Amino acid sequence: MPKASSPPLHRYAAQAWAIVTLVIVVGTLAPFRFKRTPADWWWHFYKISDVVLNVVLFFPFGFCAMLALTQPRSRPARFCVAIAGAAVLSVALESTQRYLPDRMATVPDVIADVIGAMAGAYVASRYASAY
């Protein structure tokens, strides 16, 4: 009887990527009380701890995205797709946060999110090249 082969790493990474994305969406939009806030929402003062938390939050997104993507074949192209996905998700979440009275949407958050995803994708590309 032939041995069942284990699923490839990218399948596990795709499942982890979906879970990470769900955690990011729920974590950034909770408690889901939508209400329009003032229009001066893009540029606000922020704390370094907010930046660090955003980088840490999006690190697994970039890491899992890089391992989950099988197309395009080239590593730089997958890196760009992972970063573009993080940027789109971040802008969508920050735009939605405009309607949450308990949240503050800022451009530095988007920048920190993309940096976190870039760091995760870079580490994943180094990890994947080792195997």
The string of pLDDT tens digits covering residues 84-94 is 999 999 999 99
Structure tokens at 125: 């590309």
Structure tokens at 46: 């922020």
**CA–CA distance from 13 to each of 19, 43, 62, 84, 98 (Å)?**
10, 35, 11, 18, 31
Provide the pLDDT for residue 1.
Answer: 45
The amino acid sitting at 95 is: S
Residue extents of the structural domains in the chain? 14-28+36-130
Whole-angstrom distance, CA of residue 58 vs CA of residue 122: 13
Q: What is the pTM of this model?
A: 0.77
CA Rg, the chain, in Å? 17
**What would the mean pLDDT of 63-78 be, rounded to a whole number?**
88
Asked whether residue 44 carries a pLDDT value surpassing 80, the answer given is no
CA angle at 42 for the pair 47 and 80, rounded to the nearest 5°: 85
